[in-house]
Amino acid sequence: PTTPPMQRRLASKMRFVADLSQCLFDFVIQLLPTTEEMAVKEDVRKLLERLIRTIEPDSRLLSFGSTANGFSLRNSDMDLCCLIDSKERLAATDLVTMLGDLLERETKFHVKPLPHARIPIVKLSLDPSPGLPLGIACDIGFENRLALENTRLLMCYAMVDPTRVRTMVLFLKVWSKRRKINSPYKGTLSSYGYVLLVIYFLVHVKNPPVLPNLQQMPPLRPITTEDTHLAGYNTWFFDDIELLRQRWHSDNTETVAELLIDFFRYYSRDFSYNTGVASIRAGLLKKESKGWQNDLSGGRYNDSRERNRLCIEDPFEIDFNVARCVTKDGLYTIRGEFMRAARVLSTRPERAIIALAELCE
Ligand code: ATP
Ligand code: MG
């Protein structure tokens, strides 16, 4: 007996989706950093920590960003944060200048101290060598405790459902870099922004949700404001992942490929860019309620107009729009790329690998 066309289409769709999930795993696995690369980076961190301690004996140098949250790709840069545990410490500006001088004298790094930037940092890079074929790029900042906490939050989200979350995030990072829409300096979105878009989608858009809202789960024991607040912001979230794995279970059984296809569809068509704010803490918010509306009335130049085209609330610094660097043109390009990706995946070529190659070309 012949199979009816409906059933044939469904079977072909299911085959494509299964095939695409497998391709996505294979694709991201080969882009993960090698153990050797991770060891070299850890050695660099230790070396830099030793040097900084000659200036500030009570300091620690910690990794944040992708090297610390499990979303690292081969050859991604290192984000380091220096914490100083003593009360009498040098001002960040002075430390940046002194550290810059010291590293220039004592190491082979190219050093660029930026003592007067909004957030003072020292930028370092190392030329490629046989042991490190792609070199290293690294930023050292100071006392950025909120960044350490948001790194820990993203790491916990990755640990709740490692396969689906990490595969989606890593793929989107590669995709956004290859499609050239991952440069806040050029009006598009940072990696951090894309990661927040993925988590927002998995917590608040998918029904049933793939991830719980870690910031809204009830704490296991009473907590005080002092325990949870940092620089005036509430940084509490449920971080006992072992316990969470025992107690929380997602009813969403979609595969990575299904989630990715739906992610592109949602951000090309359904997210309310004009009025909405994506908040992983609180769900969909209104720009109005945050005072982030873009002023389209013309007239006097209004700084907020370019700043709030795309609105993504930082999980802790809730008065901060992570996507504030995204310009009108930048958002147009990003949405165009979401649409293109949704289109490529919906045409379902014969083999999923071809779709992936086309997606990232
Ligand atoms: P990549 O591998 O591309 O470097 P990444 O995961 O390290 O990606 P980045 O965008 O480099 O992501 O961000 C690193 C960290 O810096 C984030 O975890 C966050 O703590 C902080 N950060 C970056 N961009 C912002 C931003 N716009 N607002 C607030 N914090 C940010
Ligand atoms: Mg980084």
Query: What pLDDT, on a 0 to 100 scale, did the predictor assign at position 85?
Result: 87
Cβ of residue 338 lying under 6 Å from some atom of ligand 1: no
- Tell whether the model's pLDDT for residue 324 goes beyond 70: yes
**Nearest in space to 101 (alpha carbons), one of 52, 56, 141:** 52
DSSP codes, 144-159: -HHHHHHHHHHHHHHH
Cβ of residue 64 lying under 6 Å from some atom of ligand 1: yes
How many angstroms separate the alpha carbon of residue 79 from the centre of ligand 1?
8
Please provide residue 138's backbone torsions phi and psi, each rounded to the nearest 5 degrees: -150, 140
Residues 185-211: b if buried by 16+ CB within 10 A, e if exposed: eebbbbbbbbbbbbbbbbbbbbeeebb
Please provide residue 60's backbone torsions phi and psi, each rounded to the nearest 5 degrees: -130, 145
Q: What is the mean pLDDT of the chain?
A: 92
Q: Is 263 helix (H, G, I), strand (E, B) or coil?
A: helix
How many angstroms separate the alpha carbon of residue 298 from the centre of ligand 1?
33
Q: Compute the average pLDDT of residues 153-179.
A: 96
**Nearest in space to 139 (alpha carbons), one of 62, 191, 196:** 62
| Ligand 1 atom closest to 147 (CA) | 20
| Ligand 1 atom closest to 191 (CA) | 10
Site to substitute for ligand 1 among 32, 79, 320, most atoms within 8 A of C-beta: 79
Instruction: Round the CA-based radius of gyration of the chain to a whole number and report it.
Output: 22
Instruction: Encode pLDDT of 285-318 as tens digits.
Output: 999 999 998 755 544 444 545 789 999 999 999 9
Residues 133-169: b if buried by 16+ CB within 10 A, e if exposed: eeebebbbbbbbbbbbbbbbbbbbbbbbbeebbbbbb
> Which residue ranges form the domains of the chain, and what is each CATH number?
35-144 (3.30.460.10), 161-211+250-359 (1.10.1410.10)
**Nearest in space to 349 (alpha carbons), one of 9, 16, 35:** 16
Instruction: Encode pLDDT of 225-283 as tens digits.
Output: 888 899 899 999 999 999 998 888 999 999 999 999 999 999 999 999 999 999 999 99
Cβ of residue 264 lying under 6 Å from some atom of ligand 1: no
**Nearest in space to 316 (alpha carbons), one of 279, 287, 283:** 279
How many angstroms separate the alpha carbon of residue 104 from the centre of ligand 1?
26
Asked if residue 313 lies in contact with residue 322, where contact means CB atoms within 8 angstroms, the answer is yes
% of residues, the chain, pLDDT over 70: 96
Cβ of residue 322 lying under 6 Å from some atom of ligand 1: yes
CB atoms within 10 A of CB 293: 16
Cα separation, 335 vs 148, in Å, equals: 30
Q: Compute the average pLDDT of residues 112-124.
A: 92
Q: Is 11 helix (H, G, I), strand (E, B) or coil?
A: helix
Element housing 219 (H / E): none
Instruction: Encode pLDDT of 17-31 as tens digits.
Output: 999 999 999 999 999
| Ligand 1 atom closest to 173 (CA) | 3
Cα separation, 211 vs 249, in Å, equals: 9
- Tell whether the model's pLDDT for residue 122 goes beyond 70: yes
Tally of residues, the chain: 361
